[in-house]
Amino acid sequence: MFTVARDRFAELLGVDPRGIAPPVDLDEDDYARVLTVHMAALVAVDAAGGGRRAPADAVGLSIYLLDREHAYWQALHTHRAGHTRPLVMSRTVFLATLTRPLPRERP
């Protein structure tokens, strides 16, 4: 599963997947969920494409992806006038995570 996801992410991101190895502990309980395996593949490809090292554990995957998200919000704020500040985006995402989808009020 890791290899298929890695190859597809590499194709989409324009990265050569050769040499991008799966995490050494891929058969551990931390990677029992499909989402975690896909996160590992995405992070491995993104890190390789940016000349960085992928985190060594499943917790590091989440940290890596959150750092990338914050960097993206900062770039939007810096390069697009009027875009929401990164701190506000962080709070909004946190609140949305806690509340889950809510119906839109109708007038």
pLDDT per residue over 42-75, tens digit each?
A: 999 999 999 999 998 999 999 999 999 999 999 9
**Residue 19, SS3?**
coil
**Residue 45, SS3?**
helix
Q: So what's the pLDDT on residue 6?
A: 97
Report domain extents, the chain: 2-99
Q: Report the C-alpha gap between 74 and 56 in whole angstroms.
A: 26
Helix 86-99 / helix 58-79 crossing angle, nearest 10 deg: 130
- Residue 42 burial (10 A CB sphere; 0-12, 13-18, 19+): buried
Answer whether residue 107 shows pLDDT above 80.
no
pTM of the full structure: 0.82
Average pLDDT over residues 95-104: 87
Greater model confidence, 27 or 17: 17
Percent of the chain with pLDDT strictly greater than 70 = 98
Q: CB count, 10 Å around CB of 31?
A: 21
**Residue with token string 């940290």:** 63
